[in-house]
């Protein structure tokens, strides 16, 4: 299997998030989107911010020329605290991301779990964020992929 197929899926995820998650599309936020790990300090002046990485890729061969690929993706969101308990901006970003995945994202996927982390450092430092794990499932023809 060509790695270009996986890259295409992940590049499309980034492009679709950039296109869809904007206040003009009835969302609350317009985040910066990045593929690859991004440290909190690298998002200064760019928050709200969503970055994502693939953590595992599985292939399921079928009896035909079709192969199923399942990509585990971790999506991380950063938002500045709002000064009123810290998490309103983060929760808006998380809500927008969940809505996108369930309504606007074009690849078949399953929402696996959501671990919200507001804290540790929160209000004093001004940090809030979350991590959301998903599985993206796609099929490809092994005879035509390059």
The number of domains in the chain is 1
Residue 74 within any structural domain of the chain: yes
- DSSP H helical segments within the chain, as ranges? 3-20, 88-99, 122-125
Residue 135 within any structural domain of the chain: yes
pTM of the model: 0.84
Residue 120 within any structural domain of the chain: yes
* Rounded Cα gap, residues 4 and 48, in angstroms: 29
Residue 85 within any structural domain of the chain: yes
Residue 94 within any structural domain of the chain: yes
Q: What is the CATH number of the domain that holds 64?
A: 3.30.70
If you ran DSSP here, which 8-state letter would residue 101 be given?
I
Residue 20 within any structural domain of the chain: yes
Residue 46 within any structural domain of the chain: yes
Residue 146 within any structural domain of the chain: no
Count other Cβ atoms within 10 Å, centred on residue 116.
15
3-class SS of residue 125: helix
Please state whether beta strands 127-141 and 109-117 pair in parallel, antiparallel, or not at all (unpaired). Answer: antiparallel
Q: What is the pLDDT along the chain (146 residues), one digit of tens a residue?
A: 456 788 988 999 999 999 999 998 889 999 999 999 999 999 999 999 999 999 998 888 777 788 888 888 999 999 888 766 557 788 889 889 989 988 898 876 665 555 555 443 455 667 788 888 888 888 877 776 65
* Rounded Cα gap, residues 136 and 139, in angstroms: 10
Tokens of 48: 């709200």
- The parent domain of residue 11 ranges over 3-141
């Amino acid at each position: 299997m060509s790695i270009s197929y996986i890259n295409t899926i992940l590049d499309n995820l980034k492009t679709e998030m950039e296109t869809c998650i904007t206040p003009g599309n009835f969302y609350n936020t317009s985040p910066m989107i990045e593929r690859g790990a991004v440290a909190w300090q690298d998002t200064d002046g760019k928050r709200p911010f969503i970055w994502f990485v693939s953590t595992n890729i599985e292939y399921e061969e079928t009896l035909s020329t079709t192969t199923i690929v399942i990509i585990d993706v971790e999506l991380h969101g950063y938002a500045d605290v709002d000064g009123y308990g810290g998490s309103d901006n983060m929760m808006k970003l998380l809500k927008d991301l969940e809505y996108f995945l369930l309504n606007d994202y074009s690849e078949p996927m399953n929402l696996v779990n959501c671990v919200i982390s507001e804290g540790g450092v929160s209000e004093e430092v001004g940090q809030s964020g979350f991590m959301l794990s998903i599985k993206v499932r796609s099929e490809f023809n092994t005879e035509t992929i390059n």
